[in-house]
Amino acid sequence: MKSAYKKVLSDKEKVVLIPFFKDYANVPAAYQQWLKDRSKAGILGGKRDEHLSLYLNAAGQPCKILFYCFGAEEEIKAKQIRSSLALAIKSLRQQPLPELALVLNNQFLKYSQEIGEALALSNYNTALFKTGQDRKEAEEKVIKKITIVSRDIDKVQKYNLEEGLKIGFAVNEIRDLINSPHNLVNEITFAKKAEEVCAKNKIRLKIFERRDLEKMKMGALLAVNGGSKHGAKLIVMEYLPLGRRQDPVVLVGKGVTFDTGGVNIKPTAGLAEMHMDMAGAAAVLGVFMLLRELEIQQNVIGIIPLTDNALDAGSQKPSDVITSYCGKTIEVGNTDAEGRLILADGISYALKNYKVSAIIDIATLTGACIVALGDQMAGLFGNNDQMKQRLKNAALETDEEVWEMPIHETHHKGLKGKFADLNNVDNSGMAGACTAAAFIEEFVDKTDWIHLDIAGPAMPKKPKDIDFQGATGFGVRLLTRFLQNIK
């Protein structure tokens, strides 16, 4: 979607969106009385998400104008701007929509970044693998050009709006990646995507293949990969704009490209969605699409342990004892608790090879987190209160919701192995969200650390207004804002 800017709404526009608050201040003078008359007639009540269409412009020429109410300005929040604008765009996209003019004044321009994000996120093309007429119709409903009509917009607001568009476009790319099935996005093709992203953004990239991982003795990742057709990989991305002047923040994303559950095979219900088990890895890759684009002045390392969890003669089995990259031994209590194993090796690699300031891991880790929190928010765990608060602040700003969860001493005690250092599940057989977080913490040492369990919001049953059925790209906006906010 291309963007353009102009000061005055012309008579040549075919589709126009005019958002307004109850005071009608954003409505061009030619249409204010028309709207006020309909308000007096009870057709409009000034409530959020009420809307009305007009099919002739002020010059009497054919033109669809959608007037969309955002409620009372004093009651509005940034997330509601994002949400209502997305609903308005989706409403217009019911018909072919090659171009759109969006009228904005200073009431709305204070939310420039949220507006940019909403424009991009609500313009997602869901016809990823459709063909023929279905694909043609879907592509006709994708906006090709957006024109911002405003006398008021300044350089900062334009910059913020364009930044929001960039963030939204990156999320859409990540949605495509997560929505793609395993035969199209697997260890090989995901690694190729990482190569493209790093080449485009001039980011240093290292990809360790299975033979490398064997030499490195990355036993936990290799154990999960035992039944796989494709060899495991470890992707390491280095964005270091500050050189040695700053210790990096490390982002570790769970990259299980398909999760059968292994020998502890998953039930049929939901199994077809398990290509989304790399949503954490995809979110990390999405952040790396944006670091240079947004000129983020933080050193950031991205680490993605990549494998599927397949069922084959070579698959790891319950009671197997494996040696992780850092040397700790692990009894496999449940082969479907594989994500924490590959994250353990990814985190250990970071601590061994970098002087780390903080670690955030992000993973579709446990169904238990969905049971606890539903599918609209991520579970937040960590060992540093200040860091957790900064993450919560970023969540409020981006509307990618998180809820803090506990890690108790009893969670750690329950992971003690009979014959090895650790078991990958609680010795009572529980594989809960807190237990999973405690297991990961065993590999963090004293480094400041956050764990995000995104099993729910990565692909919720009922998406938010800015999302569509399928992948949301959760975590890209959240982690990007977190990095932007670091002082």
| Separation in Å, CA 93 to CA 106, 129, 167 | 26, 19, 21
Burial 435-472 (b: 16+ CB within 10 A, else e): bbbbbbbbbbeebbbbbbbbbbbbbbeebbbbbbebbb
Active site residue ranges: 266, 340
- Beta carbons of 258 and 232 less than 8 angstroms apart: no
- Beta carbons of 39 and 183 less than 8 angstroms apart: no
- Beta carbons of 359 and 247 less than 8 angstroms apart: no
Torsion sign over Cα 284, 285, 290, 296: positive
3-state helix/strand/coil string of 92-155: HCCCCCCEEEEECCHHHHCCHHHHHHHHHHCCCCCCCCCCHHHHHHHHHCCCCEEEEECCCCCH
**How many Å apart are CA 121 and CA 83, to the nearest integer?**
10
Determine how many CB atoms are found less than 10 A away from the CB of residue 430. Answer: 15
What burial class does residue 428 get, using C-beta atoms within 10 Å of its C-beta: 0-12 exposed, 13-18 middle, 19+ buried?
A: exposed
Inter-axis angle of helices 78-92 and 112-121, nearest 10:
40
**How many Å apart are CA 153 and CA 159, to the nearest integer?**
10
